[in-house]
Amino acid sequence: QLQESGPGLVKPSETLSLTCTVSGGPVSSGTDYWSWIRQSPGKGLEWIGYVYHSVFTSYNPSLKSRVTIMMDKSKNQFSLRLNSVTAADTAVYYCARDQNYLDVWGKGTTVTVS
């Protein structure tokens, strides 16, 4: 299971920080990628990026300059940081296990930039 956590309200120009806690298996599994996805109100799914093998990352080119995804093996968590947020970053943020397909999702957490 995956569970997102973090502030529900972030001020413009500040940094959005979310954590995904993984239960039922190690986040450091060598075959799993761990992704963040978001969904703006009334819009479709947008992939933000993933982390795998603890240190390797890949980001959506449209967000790459503002995004950092990291893994904390000791806590079995991975995290998302999005800098310099604007109202356009208001969305439901999901974390998911990525095996080429996203087979386990968190319930999502709503983040409002205001």
Partner 1 sequence: SYVLTQPPSVSVAPGQTATITCGGDNLVIRRVHWYQQRPGQAPVLIIRDDTVRATGIPERFSGSKSGDTASLTISGVAGGDEGDYYCQVWERNSDHFVIFGGGTNLSVL
d(CA 105, CA 90): 19
| Minimum CB–partner distance for residue 112 and partner 1 (Å) | 16
Give the one residue of 15, 45, 81, 84 binding partner 1; rule: CB under 8 A.
45
Give the one residue of 11, 73, 75, 107 binding partner 1; rule: CB under 8 A.
107
Give the one residue of 23, 30, 101, 114 binding partner 1; rule: CB under 8 A.
101
Q: How many residues bind partner 1 (CB under 8 A)?
A: 21
CB atoms within 10 A of CB 102: 17
d(CA 111, CA 114): 10
